[in-house]
Structure 1
Amino acid sequence: MVIVSNQRNNRMHPHKFALWVAIASIIMMFAGLTSAYIVKSKLANWEVVEIPTYFIYSTACIIISSLTIQGALRSFKQRNMSQYRTLLMVTLFLGICFLALQYLGFSWLWENGVRFRGAGAGQFLYIIAGLHALHVAGGIIALIVIILRTLIGRKKVYNSVGLEVLSTYWHFVDVLWVYLLIFFIWLG
């Protein structure tokens, strides 16, 4: 009698494990930055900064993009490749819109005298929101790679691991941005 172990099937895919390690690292980085913000905000010469309206609009883009990437994953698993490609393209468009609106928000801050010097929220806003934008840009690059593979790929491989990793990452940067925006609005 041969006993087959299902232990291998219960293991997490290495790419997913690496993603969770990366997410934990990113969480620690942003926790450190927001903690430093809280400590520094108690100083007597702290300058409060108004959050640009562009950041609110960019939040809508990234939340909607989280829905579209989830729809793309569902469409892929259902083998609805036309809808899958469309939803990936919409996600890409919304991700680019998010970054464009972030740029407009940073430009608005600069035009309104918020600089890196002095003691205030502006320094932290540039650094924290800028680092987040870099993480979204990384997600956009991964999204472009997946889109190119679907458009010019010669062989049909229905393995959803890459898309699942990207989708999880994309949801993470979405939730992270919502947290950061609430953090900045709440603490001023």
Structure 2
Amino acid sequence: MSVILVFLLAVVIVVFAWLVRQGLFSKPWLEVGVAGGVPIVEPSAPKAARVGLAVFLVVVGSLFALTVSAYLMRAGLGDWRPVRLPGILYVNTFTLLVSSLALETARTGARRGDFDSVRTGLIAGGFTALLFLVGQLVAWRQLNEEGYYLASNPANAFFYLVTALHGVHVAGGLVALGRVTGRMLRGAGVAALRTGVGLCATYWHALLLIWLVLLGLLTSWIGDFILICRQLLS
């Protein structure tokens, strides 16, 4: 339970700091326009979208925190036989890193009004994210060929669970990214794409962070780190 609490606390702190930067706690009633001489409040759609994404990321982070906690508790039982991780997982990790960097390039280009950077970043980010998913399926196939079946061991089941759970979120992100890319291909300008590109980049960075945690979990270095901390504190 302490692992869950620490993880959730870290997620809350990061999200809170991000929301402050986005101006969540500003006073929207002071942001007024004029219509017929009468001041009116102008709601900020981009700000609402950022808040919505932040709330969603808190939920996603909590879900993965619970999964990590369940993994660590189950790994402590005697029938646990670790999975030999296929080498392609490290290639997939690099691919997801490139995807995240590409979308950050697109976000930077959107802020500068550079349409070419936005286009290149969106296309490269989407393509490499798709490669990541294909690579994860290849890893599943390799494990099946080596006899690491879903029901043969709890460690196998958890491997397929955590990678599938992460893959579903990547696939969902690709749907959103596809919509933004589609708007770009239909002629939308940089200003119209700025919010969508920024949200996709933030989401991709979160997916990369979650995957690095999951990879550390699957390679057991997280469990070793926790064990070392417990020994130092005891």
**Structure showing greater relative contact order (alpha-carbon pairs closer than 8 Å, 6 or more residues apart):** 1
Residue aligning to 1:32: 66
Asked if the contact 1:49/1:120 (under 8 Å) is kept, the reply is: no
Map of 1:21-170 to 2, 5 A cutoff?
A: 21-153=55-187, 156=189, 158-159=191-192, 160-170=194-204
Extract structure 1 runs of 4+ deviating beyond 4 A: none
**TM-score w.r.t. length of structure 2:** 0.73
**TM-score w.r.t. length of structure 1:** 0.90
- 5+ unaligned residues in a row in structure 1: which ranges? 1-5
Paired amino acid for 1:141: V
Asked if the contact 2:83/2:155 (under 8 Å) is kept, the reply is: yes
Paired amino acid for 1:158: A
Distance in 2 (CA, whole Å) between partners of 1:121 and 1:67 is 32
Give the deviation of 1:34 after TM superposition. Answer: 1.2
Distance in 2 (CA, whole Å) between partners of 1:37 and 1:158 is 44
* Superposed CA offset, 1:51-103 (max 9, x none): 11111100000111111110111111211112210121111111011011111
Residue aligning to 2:211: 177
Give the deviation of 1:20 after TM superposition. Answer: 1.1
Could you say which structure has the larger radius of gyration?
A: 2
Q: 1:53 to 1:22 in 2, by over 3 A?
A: same
> Is 1:7 matched up with 2:27?
yes
* CA-atom RMSD in angstroms: 1.8
- 5+ unaligned residues in a row in structure 2: which ranges? 1-25, 32-43, 225-234
Aligned residues: 181
